[in-house]
Structure formats: C-alpha cells, structure tokens
Amino acid sequence: MTLSDLWVSFPLVVLVGGTLILMIGVSIVRTHRLALGLTLLALILSLAAHDISLDHITEGGYELFGLLNVSGVQVFFNALFLLGATVTALFAYPYFDARVERCEEFYILLLTATAGAMVVAAATHFASFILGLEILSISLYAMIAYPRQSHPPLEAAAKYLVLSAVASSAILMGMALTYTATGTMAFAEITLSPESGERSYFLLGQALICVGIAFKLSLVPFHMWTPDVYQGAPAVVTGYVATVSKGAVIALLITYVQSTDVLSYDGVFYAVVFVAVASMIVGNLLALLQTNVKRLLAYSSIAHLGYLLIAVLVVNTARPELVLETILLYVAAYFIITLAAFGIVNLTSEHETEDNEQLEAYAGLFWRNPLLASILTAVALALAGIPLTVGFIAKFYVFAAGVEGTAWALIWALLIGSAIGVFYYLRLIYTMVKEVQPGATALPRIGTQSVVAVTVLGLLIVVLGVYPTPMIDMVRSIVQSSGF
Amino acid sequence: MTILYLILFLLGAGLVACLVERTNANAPRWISLFAFIIATIWTGAIWLGGADPETGFYVTGELSWIPALGINVLLKVDGLSLVLIGLTTILGVIAVVSSWSEINVSRGFFQFNILWVMAGVIGVFCAYDLFLFFFFWEVMLIPMYFLIAIWGHEDRSYAAMKFFLFTQVSGLLMLVAIIALVWINYANTGVITFSYDELLNVELSGTVGSLLMLGFFIAFITKLPSVPVHTWLPDAHTQAPTAGSVILAGILLKTGGYGLIRFTVPLFEEASRDFAFVAMLLGVISILYGGYMAYSQSDFKRLVAYSSIAHMGFILVGVYAFNELGMQGAIVTMIAHGFSTAALFMMAGSLQERLHTREMSQMGGLWVKAPRMGAMTMFFVIASVGMPGLGNFIGEFLVLLGAFKVNVPLTVLATVGIVVAAVYGLSLMQRSFQGTPNAQVATMQDFGFREMSVYAIMIVALVWIGIYPQHVLDLAQPTLDALGIAL
Amino acid sequence: MTALILFYIAGFVTLAAAILAITRTNASHALIYVVVALLAIAVIFFLLGSPFAAALQIVVYAGAIVVLFLFVVMMLNLGKSSVDRERALLTRGIWTVPSLLALMLFAVVLFALVSGDHETEAQARMIEPKEVGIALYTKYVLAVELAGVLLLAALVGAYHLGRRYLADRREEEETS
Amino acid sequence: MPPTEHVLVLALMLFCIGAIGVLVRRNIIFILISLEFMMNACAMVFIAAGAKWGQPDGQVMFMLILAIAASEVAVALGIVIQMARRFRTLDVDAVSELRE
C-alpha cells in the first residue's frame, strides 16, 4: 500500500473512520443531536476528501488493490451518494426523533450503507462488488426496519431482505459460473475466447448476474415486492433506497458493461431490451392504479430505470461519451427529483403516527401549504419530463442517445411510457389543486431544516432545468477525464 | 434582446401578481392588466421601429444557453411573428378584463398563469432555436393546465388532463423529430446545433424526411387542431374559465398554424409538398366535420369550440395550398379568428355568469333584456360566419382562392363549409337571443362600460383587417418571401 | 475413481437433506437436515481439495450459523404449545432419516481418509490453507477490511433489532 | 478429484432447491434456510472453480460468502424476532398489510 493509495481511498477511509468515531461517541453520550452532527461531519469531510483524492487520480482512473478503480465517474457518483446521505440524515432527525426511542444507530447504518455504495460504484472485481453490495443491503435491512415498533417497516424489511438476498445469491452464482468459465474475477479480464467450450457456463453466469442486477434495480419482471418495500419503509429510508442503492448499482453497471462488453452477446442484449421495455410499460401502467403516493413513486422509479437502460443499451451503437454523459445526467436528475419527492412525503408525516402517504392526504395541499405543493408540482413535472425541470434535460438526453444509437423500438416504448406517465403525475398535481375538503386540517408545524432541504432540492430541479449548462459542463469534463 | 426582456417582463409580472395577493386581493388583476397594456405598447413600438432592411427582422436577440449541445436563446421577430405577438398582447388585455369579476379564488395565481401562458406563447412565436422552441411549446402547457384544472367548470379535471395529454404526447413526437433532424445534421457536418437557420440546409432522403415531417406535423395539427386529433378541444374550451377559453381559442391554436408555416413547411419542403393533398384533405374534413358538429350542439361554448375546428381547417388548407394567396389567407384567418372567437367565448362567459348555464335551451329572447349583448353577439357571429368587410371573410376568401389554383374539388367542399358556418352561426343567434324570453332571464343585466370597451377593441380590429387587410399582408409578406418557397 | 463415488454419495446426501429440510413443517426438524446438508457440503469441499474451506464450513456454517437459527427458533416457540413440539421432537420416526443420512456421510469421510488417493485434472490441484491465507492478506486485503465493515453493519443492525428497549418492556408488562 | 462439471450440476441442483424453497415457503425461517442453500451452492461452485484453475481465489470467495451469510442471518433473525414479538407469526403473507 503506497501513500497515494491511501489518498485515493481517503474518502472511504474518512467515512468508515467517521462510523467508528460515531460509534464511540454514541457509546459515551447518547444524544440524538450529537449523532446527527457527527454524521453530517463525516459526510462532509468525506466529500471534501474527494478533492484530495482527485489530485492523485490519473486519466482513466486509479486502480486500488486490483479490487477498486476510482475515476472521475466514481467521484461523481460518490458525491451524489454523499448528497443523498446528507439529505437523508437531515430528514431522519425530526422523523425519528418523534417516534423512535433510540435513534443513534440509524446514523451508523446510514454511514456504512453509504460506504457500501461507494465500494459498489468503484468495484472492478467480483469480491469488491459483492462485498459492497452486501454492506449496502445489510445496512438497508436494518434501516428499513428501524422504527421496529410499527408493522409496515418490519414487513417491508422482511420482504426487502428476501428479495435482496435472492438477488445476491443469483449474482454470486453468476460470478461463480463466470469464474469457472474464465478463471478470473476481475472485470477487465473477463472475456471468453471464441473456441472455449465453456460458453454455456459463461452465458448462464452473465445472465444470472444480469438477473441479480435487475432485481437490485427492481426492473420488470423482477419488481414484485418493490412497491411493498417502498410503501412500508419509512419515507426517509425509501428515498435513500430509491436513490443511493440504485445509483450504486447503476455505477457498477457502467463499469461492468464497459469492461466486459457483455451487451455484445445477442442473447444478453435482447434480454435487457425486453427488461427495459417491460419496465417502461408495466411500471407506468401499474403506477396508474395506485392511490398511495409511495407506491406510485415506486412504480414510477421502475419506469425511470427502464428509461435509463435505453442509454445503457445503445452503448455499442452511439458514441460512448454521449452514453456516459446521458447516464450521469439522468442519475443526477433522478437523485434530486426522488430525494425531493420522498422528502415531501416525509415532511408531511413528521408528526403523524403513520406515514402520510395516501393520495387523498394531499388534496388541496396547494391551498394549505403552497411552498410544499409547488415543490411537489415541480417534482411531478420533472418525473414526467416536462421542460422547466431537470427531468426534461435528462429525458432529452435519453432521447438523444436513443436517436444516435438508432434504437427506435426503445424510443417508441419511451414515448408510450411517458404518455401513460403524464396521467398519474397530472393526477397528483390535480389532487393538490382540488378544493380543500371540509375535514382536512392544516398541516402541523414542520421542522425548519427539512423544509430548507426540500426547498433547496426543489430549486435545484427548476434552476438546473432552466439553466443546465453548469451541470452539463461538469459531467462532460468528467466523461472526458475518465477515458470511457 | 428587447424581445427577451418583454418575455421576462411578463414572467416577472406574473410572479409579482402571485406574491402580491396576500397583501391585496384586487392588486393582481390590475398588475396583470397593466402588464399586458405595457406589452401591447411595447409591441407597437417594435412595429413602429421598423424592420432591419437587410435581414427583415424587427428585433433579434442571442444569448448563450447550453453551448455543449449548440443550444442558444435565439429570438428573432419578423413580420409574421410581430403580428402574432401583437395579437397575443391584445388578447392578454382582453382575457384579463373578461375575467375581471369571474375569478374569486386565488386571483394572484390565476393572473400568474395567464401571464406565464402569454409569455410562453410569445416565446414560441419568436424562437429560432428548435430546442428553445420546444421548451416554450411545452412550458405554456403547464399554466394552461392550471387555468383549466383550477378555475374550470364541472368536468375540469378530465378536460385539463385530455388537453395536456394530447399536446404533451404529440409534442414528444416533435421532440424526437427535432433530435433526429439535429443528429442527421451532425452526421453530415459534424456540428451539433439546434439553430433553425442551420437546420434549414439539412438534406433529407425521402422516407426520413417524411417521417420527421410527420413528427412536426402531428404536433402542430394537434394544437391547431385538425381531425382526427381534435377531440381535446371541445372539452378543454367548454370547461375552461372564460379567460382560458379566450387564450386557448385566440392564441394557443395559432401556435399550431404558426408552427406549420414556420417549421414544417420550410424544414421539410419536399416531404410537405408530397403530403399536401392529405393535409388539405384533413383541413376540408375538419371544416365540414367542425361545422356539422357545431350545428348539433346545444351548449353555447361547445358550439363555438366546434366552430373553431372548422375555422382552423381553413388554415390547414391555406398553408398546404403552397401558394402566396393560401398562406396569406391562413395568416389573416389566424388573426381574425383570434378576435372573433375570443369575443364569442367571452359572450359565453358573460352569459354563464348571468344565467349559470351554457345550455341554449335555457336561453332565448335575451335581446329584449340585453340589447347590447345581443348586438355584440350578432356582430361577432356574422364576423365569424365570414361576412364581407370583416377580417374572417378576407382570410377565408384568400384561402379559397389559393386552394382553387391547386385543387378544385376540395375547394368546393371547403366553400360548402362556409355555408354550414352561416347555418350554425345564425342558429346560435336565434336560439339564444331571439324567440320568447325564458322566465329566469328576467333579471339579466346588460353589458357595462368594461365589457363594451373590450368588445370595441375587437370590433375595431376586425373591421380594420376586413377593410384594409394590407397591413397584415404587408407584415407577413417578407416572411413568406424569406421562406424561399416558390409560392 | 473412489473420490468420484464418494462425491456422488455426498452429493446425494446434500440434495436429499436439502429437499427434506425445505419440506418440513417444523423448523427445528428442518434445521437438523440443514446441518446434515452442510456437513455433506463440507465433505464435497474436502474432496475438491480444499480442506480449510471444509473445516470452516463445519465450524462457521454448521457450528455457528445453524445454531443461531436453532437458538432463535427455540426462543420464539411459535405455533402450538411448545410441549407438543418437544414431544414430537422425541419420536423415533423424526430421527431415523437424518441419522441415516449422517451415517452415510460418516462412511464417506472415513473412506476418503483411508483411501487418500486423489486423481487430478490438468490444472486442478489441492490448495493449501497457507496459499489461501497469503492470498487473503495480500491481494484481498481490502476485501478483508470491507468484510469487517460488513460485519460491523450487521452487528449494529442486529443489535438494534434484537434488543429490548424500555418501551418494549413496558409493553410486555402491560400484556402480561 | 470429481470433475468440475459434476460439481456444477450438483451445485445448480442445490441452488434450484433453495430457489424453490424461497418461492414456495411462506414461513420466513424456511425462506432463510432456503437462502442458505442458495449461498452454499454458490460457495461450492467457487471452490470447484478455484480447484479447477489451481487458484486460492475460490476459497477466498468462499470465506467472503461465509461473512455475508453470517451477517445476513444475524440481521434477518433480528427482524424475525421483532416480527414474532409484534405479530406472533412468521408467515410473510399472513402479516401482509402492504398493498392497495
């Protein structure tokens, strides 16, 4: 281990070190406020540490122990994870303060989950891939079940655990078969010589890994319990699951597809096309039927990951720079929008016993709390991909990548999916502008820090939608430096 | 740059109107009114300032926006744009006045939406960057959606949803076509640009050109609207509040016609020519179908809505006649229809405010109680029917002349449409204002000064266009010349 | 050749025990089959030239993990009265099949130890624990550290979920 | 040493038995047991592959799988204890409240 190894891994070291300090701190004084403070400090220091690590990263990334590879893309994703974790911590404080006896462990789990996400995003080897994924998942099980006195979180955690463990097993089996066929576990070395007689293992292995990833991204037809998990988990954690855990897998997907070129096998390619189309159509169709905002967002996120897969699928037909740019922009936009969405669900239920998640609970929100309603409107429009919001820029890029890659079938699916999507996003908006029901009460007083966080996210949605140039320039420079 | 300031001015006024409501519930409408009056004067000043003799543009503005994709804020105003911007600002004044006493809930947000729709529409009329154009094209939907969904009538949710869905989905088709066009240009030249002027030079092969043309065409005829994508219009117009109907019929529909003239035809000239017959046929079908449906309505507003479909058919016919007369006719029809239909929707709004119904069976004999209303309705019905001396006549006559040169049978059928228009127009008049008065009509109030002054503006405009259309024709002529189409 | 036969027998035991395990209605019974299956798998590891893995499989998997399961199952005592369950545990029929399977395994291990001849494929070879240890602390040192983080997360999670807080005690007092 | 193909077949069979268990059983304890079989099947393939290529990596992966399985079981049993304490049942479907 050289000194520059340390500098490159410094963000991760800071995060894990922060976890330990937090543990020690909690064991000395159990104060919720202190735990939050230490967590935020660890997250921010880790973000700052990226600045140091960037100095040591060369073109094409920096190889750590043959297990991780850190390049500009990873730094970008890490920044998003840390942003997601920070927002989650801010939302979690008032939420858990009001309803859980011991809140401090949540922050430890939040930090380990984020560290896991960073490992997954940087993984270039099966060992680091599965370890990162498990660190992330195991922290998430406990985070979902965190308010253990109530029913929905526990049930959601049990379901998520089974779902995620099946996915992990599938991925592990895929890895094992691939290893049997190729004799290596480093992504970059995984290739099948054409005369090899072990093609069937290899393809089966790749298929299993794809299935596992599809599970983790909850793509159709591997989406069964996703809505239940989204609904049952506390809104703060749902936001985290929907963003950080999926973002990490997407980052991994980029590295994996790029280094193994798995999409050049026809069978795998068409299977992924099927999954993408099915996610776009089925996700949107099922979202139509929902009356629960969390479930609606769950199906909508299924559809959005289907859209994102379009960019991944054209990797061999469009310019790689454009593909990577599209994915990064889409993920960034998706992070901001989703965090804002669950932030609002969380905000409106800070002082309720159950999460405030029925669509009807939002009736007349426009007249009761114009600020929150405006932000939620921006969120809905962004999810629908309407201009003025960052969601449009993201969708525009997907269209551009699809057109450049001449993936017309996928573009049609995207069009149909978006058309269906408009229905339920508009219904959400319409619910908010309806007249206030006689029985509806004004919202209880809500914490300032969460309102500020949600407002910042809402402003980001609009500002980056109207003037995306800074974001695009940043992403472009990352893409150029990563040598994709 | 001045045109960008005009747009920003309206947007800013919208924000102010929205925020000021807390302190003073009456202030928003005054702010909105003054904003539109200033905008109208502003537009007039641009007109008087005259066009740059070299380029033919009155004002231009360029601002870097997303350089990474070759997207700029590129705004240019030529004669055609100027006429339509003028129509927009004047109708803005009219819309505000027409809803002066109708809106009682959240007036600030109402005016905000009106101002933002108008700003978006002005943006559509002067964007010379396809991305910017699409941006404005979609942005104007959102406030319009709110106008219908919040202040609309009984079926507002359904109508607003349908309106949004139709325009959004067809807009996405256009977005794909825009991107495909840009990327074809990129493949040829190695430059990514969304600039209209650059993209005019793209060479397209037959099928690709036709497909991309269809993407634009479908988006525009959905907005226009033409059969078979017209079904959103009767619902949206009927359910919208008065100001919403005025804006929808007066301006939003015109963006479809404008788009055809500005984008579909020049960008895909060859494909459009091949497609001209189908387009004209669709136009004629719209004329006849709209007229027939209008005649069979019992709802005042719905009747006017269907008549709009018929009038918009003329625009389609005129544009795709591919000659100067047809195009000029289409443009004049756009302006004249803007005024005449807006007036009729206002009338429907006034009647609903007084009688709480739009059903013509509940009316009858209103002339006796409200002679001024009757006279106004009479005037605008006649204008709408195409009475010589008024704007609509000029437009439709020119369209028919233009179409006659190209396709005689279709022209004949379109002319039948004018006769149908007379039938439903007069039937509207008869069922609502003539005949025996209904009991509840007894207490009806006639128009006051506020209403009459607004109608006066529109009467002047229509008579002006009808008697001396040369102003409009002159303004639009350089645009048509610049299209470079051998008309 | 002998190794192959041994492998088939161990494989049969694994599959049979696994099928029996997942078809039981009583969790405790199932866990006994699980132990058998895990032991059979350990035998297979041994036959595959990985004695260290075989040992770990027995110590950690069969030893720790399954015991943890058993512990929880016993602690929860769900379903009908626990006495019924205890009685059922003692009936002879329940025990015969696991015992037979385990006996077969024992025979296999015994035979493998006695015969001790391993035919190898071209590249295939026995991998010494030393080699594994070296790999673990050179090439995979980062993985080991990450595994530490993983166990830490599991520890914190299990601690929070498993322990009783004040509210829980109060709740229990109220119900009892 | 048994040929790799045979080990693979055995492992895949075990994996399928585990998968069937996850799908069929509704009691969470049995689902967890089935998951253990799936994990074990993976471990077996890794060991076989490691032996086949003459590399220690297969066994390293096995140890990582051990750590993973142990952690999953720990947290899962924590959830099981809470479920049992709150709902007096371990049936995943019987406790289901999360739907429309």
pLDDT tens-digit series, residues B333-389: 999 998 888 888 888 888 888 878 788 777 777 777 778 888 888 888 888 888 888
Mark whether C74 and C144 lie in a shared domain: no
| B469 prior amide bond cis, ω within 30 | no
The residue with greater pLDDT, B303 or B483, is B303
Tell me: pLDDT of A413 over 80.
yes
Mean pLDDT of C18-37: 87
Query: Final residue of a domain: which of C101, C118, C149?
Result: C101
Instruction: Return residues 113-132 of A near D (CB < 8 Å).
Output: 126-127, 130-131
pLDDT of residue B454: 84
C142, C149, C168 member nearest A135 (Cβ): C149
Which residues of chain A does B142 touch, with a Cβ-Cβ cutoff of 8 Å?
381, 386, 388
Res. B227 pLDDT band, cuts 50 70 90: confident
CB of A353 within 8 Å of any CB in chain B?
A: no
Q: What does the angle CA B112 – CA B117 – CA B120 come to, to the nearest 5 degrees?
A: 125
Tell me: pLDDT of B487 over 60.
no
pLDDT of residue C41: 94
- Give D42 to chain A, closest Cα distance, Å: 5
Cβ-defined contact of C21 to D37 (cutoff 8 Å): yes
CB of A113 within 8 Å of any CB in chain C?
A: yes
C130 within some domain: no
Mean pLDDT of C32-41: 93
Which residues of chain D does A145 touch, with a Cβ-Cβ cutoff of 8 Å?
78-79, 82
| B437 prior amide bond cis, ω within 30 | no
Mark whether C36 and C90 lie in a shared domain: yes
CATH number for the domain harbouring residue C77 = 1.20.120.1200
d(C-alpha A357, C-alpha A355), whole Å: 6
Report the percentage of chain B scoring pLDDT > 70: 98
SS3 B201: coil
**C-alpha radius of gyration, chain B, whole number:** 21
Mark whether C94 and C147 lie in a shared domain: no
Per-residue pLDDT tens digits for D12-27: 889 988 888 887 777 8
Neighbours of chain B (3+ CB pairs under 8 A): A
Q: Which two tokens stand for residue C173?
A: 């007092």
Tell me: pLDDT of B142 over 80.
yes
Tell me: pLDDT of C102 over 50.
yes
C118 within some domain: no
Contact C7, D6 (CB under 8 A): yes
The residue with greater pLDDT, C118 or A264, is A264
Cβ-defined contact of D82 to A169 (cutoff 8 Å): no
pLDDT of residue B478: 81
Q: Taking the complete model, does pTM exceed 0.90, yes or no? A: yes
Mark whether C8 and C90 lie in a shared domain: yes
Instruction: Return residues 71-130 of C near D (CB < 8 Å).
Output: 72-73, 75-76, 78, 118-121, 123-127
Per-residue burial over A127-155, b = 16 or more CB atoms within 10 Å of its CB, e = otherwise: bbbbbbbbbbbbbbbbbbbbbbbbbbbbb
Per-residue pLDDT tens digits for B424-466: 888 888 888 777 776 666 667 777 788 888 888 888 888 888 8
Query: Final residue of a domain: which of C72, C101, C130?
Result: C101
Which residues of chain A does D18 touch, with a Cβ-Cβ cutoff of 8 Å?
169
Interface predicted TM-score (ipTM) of this complex, two decimals: 0.89
d(C-alpha B256, C-alpha B225), whole Å: 7
Mean per-residue pLDDT over chain B, rounded: 87
The residue with greater pLDDT, A441 or A464, is A464
Res. A437 pLDDT band, cuts 50 70 90: low
With CA atoms as reference, report the closest residue to B25 among B95, B98, B93, B109.
Answer: B109
Contact C156, A108 (CB under 8 A): yes
| A-chain residue closest to D27, CA distance | A158
pLDDT of residue B205: 82
Cβ-defined contact of D82 to A145 (cutoff 8 Å): yes
Q: How many CA atoms lie within 13 A of C98 on its CB side?
A: 22
- Give D12 to chain A, closest Cα distance, Å: 9
Tell me: pLDDT of C162 over 50.
yes
Kindly report the backbone phi and psi dihedral angles of residue B205, in degrees, each rounded to the nearest multiple of 5, phi listed first: -80, 165
CB of C18 within 8 Å of any CB in chain D?
A: yes
A367, A400, A415 member nearest B172 (Cβ): A415
Q: Which two tokens stand for residue A415?
A: 């069009």
Tell me: pLDDT of D87 over 90.
no
Amino acid identity of B289?
Y
C111 within some domain: no
Res. A171 pLDDT band, cuts 50 70 90: very high
Cβ-defined contact of D86 to A154 (cutoff 8 Å): yes
Cβ-defined contact of A179 to D46 (cutoff 8 Å): yes
Please name every residue paired with D27 in a beta bridge, in sequence order, or none if there are none: D91
SS3 B192: coil
Res. D82 pLDDT band, cuts 50 70 90: confident
Per-residue pLDDT tens digits for A200-249: 778 888 888 999 999 999 998 888 888 999 998 998 999 999 999 999 99
Query: What number of helices (H) and strands (E) belong to chain C?
Result: 9, 0
Q: What domains appear along chain D, each with residue ranges and CATH number?
A: 4-89 (1.10.287.3510)
Name the residue with tokens 């409107």: A377
Q: Would strands A62-64 and A68-70 be described as parallel, antiparallel, or unpaired?
A: antiparallel
Mean pLDDT of B57-86: 89
Instruction: Return residues 172-201 of A near D (CB < 8 Å).
Output: 172-173, 175-177, 179-180, 183, 185, 201
Distance of CA B365 to the CA centre of its chain: 32
Domain count, chain C: 2
CB of C141 within 8 Å of any CB in chain D?
A: no
pLDDT of residue C120: 45
Instruction: Return residues 57-86 of D near C (CB < 8 Å).
Output: 57-60, 62-64, 66-75, 77-82, 84-85
CB of A364 within 8 Å of any CB in chain B?
A: no
C18 within some domain: yes
Q: Which two tokens stand for residue B30?
A: 């005054």
pLDDT of residue A359: 81
CA distances from C60 to C52, D51, D67, D68 (A): 12, 21, 9, 12
Instruction: Among A102, A126, A184, pick the best mutation site for testing chain C contact (most C Cβ within 10 A).
Output: A102
A387, A388, A472 member nearest B66 (Cβ): A472
Res. C119 pLDDT band, cuts 50 70 90: very low
Which residues of chain D does C13 touch, with a Cβ-Cβ cutoff of 8 Å?
none
Instruction: Return residues 25-64 of C near D (CB < 8 Å).
Output: 27, 30-31, 34, 37-38, 41, 44-45, 47-50, 52-53, 56-57, 60-61, 64
With CA atoms as reference, report the closest residue to A252 among A123, A342, A339.
Answer: A123
Which residues of chain A does B66 touch, with a Cβ-Cβ cutoff of 8 Å?
468-469, 472
| B-chain residue closest to A465, CA distance | B135
Mean per-residue pLDDT over chain A, rounded: 89
With CA atoms as reference, report the closest residue to A468 among B181, B176, B61, B68.
Answer: B68
3-state helix, strand, coil in chain B (%, to 5): 75, 5, 20
Q: Give the domain extent around C169.
A: 140-176
Tell me: pLDDT of D68 over 90.
yes
Res. A199 pLDDT band, cuts 50 70 90: confident
Contact B283, B313 (CB under 8 A): yes
Which residues of chain D does C123 touch, with a Cβ-Cβ cutoff of 8 Å?
52-54
Tell me: pLDDT of C117 over 50.
no
Tell me: pLDDT of A441 over 80.
no
C39 within some domain: yes
C20 within some domain: yes
Res. D94 pLDDT band, cuts 50 70 90: low
CB of C12 within 8 Å of any CB in chain D?
A: no
Mean pLDDT of A37-42: 94
Query: Final residue of a domain: which of C74, C101, C128?
Result: C101
Which residues of chain A does B236 touch, with a Cβ-Cβ cutoff of 8 Å?
none
CB of A426 within 8 Å of any CB in chain B?
A: yes
Q: Could you write out the three-class secondary structure of chain A?
A: CCHHHHHHCHHHHHHHHHHHHHHHHHHHCCCHHHHHHHHHHHHHHHHHHHHHHHHHCCCCCEEECCCEEECHHHHHHHHHHHHHHHHHHHHHHHHHHCCCCCCHHHHHHHHHHHHHHHHHHHECEHHHHHHHHHHHHHHHHHHHCCCCCCHHHHHHHHHHHHHHHHHHHHHHHHHHHHHHHHCCCEHHHCCCCCCCCCHHHHHHHHHHHHHHHHHHCCCCCCCCCHHHHHHHCCHHHHHHHHHHHHHHHHHHHHHHHHHHCHHHCHHHHHHHHHHHHHHHHHHHHHHHCCCEHHHHHHHHHHHHHHHHHHHHHHHHCCCHHHHHHHHHHHHHHHHHHHHHHHHHHHHHCCCCCCCCCEHHHHCCHHHHCHHHHHHHHHHHHHHHCCCCCHHHHHHHHHHHHHHHCCCHHHHHHHHHHHHHHHHHHHHHHHHHHCCCCCCCCCCCCCCHHHHHHHHHHHHHHHHHHHCCHHHHHHHHHHHHHHCC
Cβ-defined contact of C146 to A135 (cutoff 8 Å): yes
